[in-house]
Chains A and B, each alone.
Chain A
Amino acid sequence: MNEWTIAIIKVVFIWSWTLLIATVMTWVERRGSALIQDRLGPNIAGPFGLFQPLADGIKLFTKEEFAPKHAHKILFTLGPVLFALQAFSAYAVIPFGDKIVINAKEIVLQVADVNIGFLFVLAVGSLAVYGFVVGGWGSNNKYSLLGGLRATAQLLSYEVPLGLAMLAVCMTYSSFSLREISLDQTGTFLGFLPNWGIFKQPLGFLVFIVAAYAEANRVPFDLPEAESELVAGYHTEYGGMRLGLYLFGEYVNLYTLSALMVTIYFGAWHIPYIDMSAYLSPFAYGIASFFVFFIKCAFFLWLFVWVRWTIPRFRFDQLMGLGWKSLIPLGLLNLFVTAFFIQISL
């Protein structure tokens, strides 16, 4: 197996894995919301209704690819593609495990360990704006356009606190590479805490998670789709698999953000106080690290669902106020405090 084969296998694996997670997440979202709201949710198709996403997929694929009469044909088709493209490519630099040894060959469980790390995630993540605004503009519908505009304003505003929070992380670990950051989180911090990012950057984590919810367009910040005000926002006119791409893209984004949170704040694949690699064979360790990482991600994925069905939506001025008047000052404060501690420890 040469480098290329390994790379292609990794790409195909992580692509299908995120797609699988996104598919299962649609089911989790529906069952979770149902159980929170004293309902049952889809429980007929397969065990516990687990095949419901398959049925949904078949439905979306076989539906007519309808475009409104006065829609801009190219932009209308391009919107969901752009959105899904960025969603699937953002995961490339995030690790999904430590490393696995097969046939005495060490394989790092990460598609690309680039040294600009989360700058890449930020850059690709901000391309999501194009998906929204192109789709909203191409639909030639006032609700879609409003949704697209709101998405632009929201995503641009919340990228700043997201970047500030990540910058403080970068200062703490003096690296942009997500793999190096993960490897740095072994052992303990202050003698008794696990050496995780959240204990070094509690304020940064708070800023990050709020901004992440806004970046993923989730309730309480789902202003771009706001079904009670804008019909369905930027995807009002979409149906069939084009809508499916938007919905899948949203869940893939959730997975990416959860994985990012786990990587930089929750010790990636490390279990606190236990060094797994000391007890397991290299092959088993690779698989175990993958699952530990995934379980941590699963918690954050569930948190996205849980929060969605708990909190009502913000008003648009409240959203902007929170972004510019609270999160950005907090992010800056966090940056200064981090810089101060780095200075005095030197």
Chain B
Amino acid sequence: MAKPVVQRKYTLSERIYLVEIIKGLGLTWKHFVFNFRASLKRGPHTVPTCWQYPWDRREIAPIFRGEHMLSLDDKGREKCIACGMCARICPAQCITVKKGKVQEGEEDRYAGKFYPVSFEVDLLRCIFCGFCEETCPKNAIMLGQGYELAQYQGKDCILTRDKLLENYRSALESGNLKPPRKKVPVVGAKEKKPAKSKAQEKTEAQEA
């Protein structure tokens, strides 16, 4: 049932309207003075509702999914083994990986037996779902914190391997790397039991 409309009689000052206008002017004046003082203060983000973007940025969550990067291990070797799982799972099909065999003498540059000869991420297609990052067996591809991805040319929107590695290095320098991700429980997978020592197995067998 609809709420019955109650017609209230206006008081005299409300009907004259001028008194109410003056009250309203007082209210807006309060806002004006408060914000005027706030706008004179130095430093970013002085007026409560305004974020002055290029100078004044919001904090990003540590697990934010932004611009991609290809990570290096602690010896400075590329982690990616060019298995192509990221390219396979990508719903937008924006990743292209070309596989190459690691030659002798190159082991200090690549962690696995294979390495990506080219690794391209088409940012115009990418939907930033984070599946690539989740499926990567070596934690090689990661989504970083970069979100200013506008370019003048469409071709600049395709991240090459060099750019991806550079993204990782700059993230490492600025300390914007993601925390190591938690194990995602996989449905139907057997839980690994902690390995038992042979001595323990023996005692168990004896008890049985």
| A residues in contact (CB < 8 Å) with B | 32, 34-40, 43, 206, 306-307, 309-311
A35 lies within 8 A of B48 (CB): no
B21 lies within 8 A of A38 (CB): no
Stretch binding the partner chain, chosen from B24-32, B62-70, B110-118: B24-32
A309-B49 in contact given A38-B35, A40-B39 (Cβ < 8 Å):
no
A36-B39 in contact given A310-B21, A311-B21, A311-B24 (Cβ < 8 Å):
no
B39 lies within 8 A of A310 (CB): no
Within B23-75, the residues touching A (CB, 8 Å) are: 24-25, 27-29, 31-32, 35-36, 39, 47-50, 52
Residues on B with beta carbons closer than 8 Å to the beta carbon of A310:
21, 24-25, 27-28
Q: How far is the CA of A307 from the CA of B48 in the complex (A)?
A: 23
Return 25 A-B CB contacts under 8 Å, by A number: A32-B32, A35-B31, A35-B32, A35-B35, A35-B36, A36-B32, A37-B31, A38-B31, A38-B35, A38-B47, A38-B48, A38-B49, A39-B50, A40-B35, A40-B47, A40-B52, A43-B39, A206-B18, A306-B25, A306-B28, A306-B32, A307-B25, A309-B28, A311-B21, A311-B24
Q: How far is the CA of A58 from the CA of B191 in the complex (A)?
A: 70
What's the minimum C-beta distance from B22 to chain A, rounded to whole angstroms? 10
A36 lies within 8 A of B31 (CB): yes
Q: How far is the CA of A34 from the CA of B28 in the complex (A)?
A: 11
Residue from B21, B28, B47 in contact with A39 in the complex, judged by beta carbons closer than 8 Å: B47
Q: How far is the CA of A37 from the CA of B49 in the complex (A)?
A: 10
Residues on B with beta carbons closer than 8 Å to the beta carbon of A206:
18
Residues on B with beta carbons closer than 8 Å to the beta carbon of A38:
31, 35, 47-50
What's the minimum C-beta distance from B72 to chain A, rounded to whole angstroms? 40
What's the minimum C-beta distance from A161 to chain B, rounded to whole angstroms? 15
Residues on B with beta carbons closer than 8 Å to the beta carbon of A311:
21, 24
Nearest to B30 among chain A residues (CB) is A36
What's the minimum C-beta distance from B178 to chain A, rounded to whole angstroms? 34
> Size band of the B side of the interface?
10 to 19
What's the minimum C-beta distance from B161 to chain A, rounded to whole angstroms? 38
Q: Render B61-102 as a binary contact track against A, CB cut-off 8 A, 1 for contact.
A: 000000000000000000000000000000000000000000
Residues on B with beta carbons closer than 8 Å to the beta carbon of A43:
39
Give 7 nearest A-B pairs by CB, closest first: A35-B35, A310-B24, A310-B28, A40-B50, A36-B28, A38-B49, A35-B32
What's the minimum C-beta distance from B36 to chain A, rounded to whole angstroms? 5
Nearest to B25 among chain A residues (CB) is A310
Residues on B with beta carbons closer than 8 Å to the beta carbon of A39:
35, 47, 49-50
Q: How far is the CA of A213 from the CA of B120 in the complex (A)?
A: 63
Nearest to B51 among chain A residues (CB) is A40
Q: How far is the CA of A36 from the CA of B24 in the complex (A)?
A: 12
Q: How far is the CA of A198 from the CA of B52 in the complex (A)?
A: 44
Given A40-B47, A310-B27, 9 more A-B residue pairs with CB atoms under 8 Å apart are A34-B35, A35-B31, A35-B32, A38-B31, A38-B50, A39-B47, A39-B49, A306-B32, A310-B28
Q: How far is the CA of A34 from the CA of B50 in the complex (A)?
A: 10
Nearest to B39 among chain A residues (CB) is A40
Residues on A with beta carbons closer than 8 Å to the beta carbon of B36:
35
Nearest to A326 among chain B residues (CB) is B17
What's the minimum C-beta distance from A214 to chain B, rounded to whole angstroms? 14
What's the minimum C-beta distance from B196 to chain A, rounded to whole angstroms? 65
- Looking at B28, B31, B48, B50, which has the most chain A CB atoms within 10 Å of its CB? B28
Q: How far is the CA of A39 from the CA of B51 in the complex (A)?
A: 10
Residues on B with beta carbons closer than 8 Å to the beta carbon of A309:
28
Q: How far is the CA of A34 from the CA of B35 in the complex (A)?
A: 9
What's the minimum C-beta distance from A216 to chain B, rounded to whole angstroms? 17
Q: How far is the CA of A206 from the CA of B31 in the complex (A)?
A: 26
Q: How far is the CA of A152 from the CA of B61 in the complex (A)?
A: 57
Q: How far is the CA of A43 from the CA of B36 in the complex (A)?
A: 12
Residues on A with beta carbons closer than 8 Å to the beta carbon of B47:
38-40
Residues on A with beta carbons closer than 8 Å to the beta carbon of B25:
306-307, 310
Q: How far is the CA of A103 from the CA of B21 in the complex (A)?
A: 50
Q: Render B1-28 as a binary contact track against A, CB cut-off 8 A, 1 for contact.
A: 0000000000000000010010011011
Q: How far is the CA of A310 from the CA of B31 in the complex (A)?
A: 11
Q: How far is the CA of A36 from the CA of B47 in the complex (A)?
A: 12
Nearest to B23 among chain A residues (CB) is A310
Residues on A with beta carbons closer than 8 Å to the beta carbon of B31:
35-38
Q: How far is the CA of A32 from the CA of B28 in the complex (A)?
A: 10
Q: How far is the CA of A80 from the CA of B152 in the complex (A)?
A: 39
Q: How far is the CA of A310 from the CA of B18 in the complex (A)?
A: 12
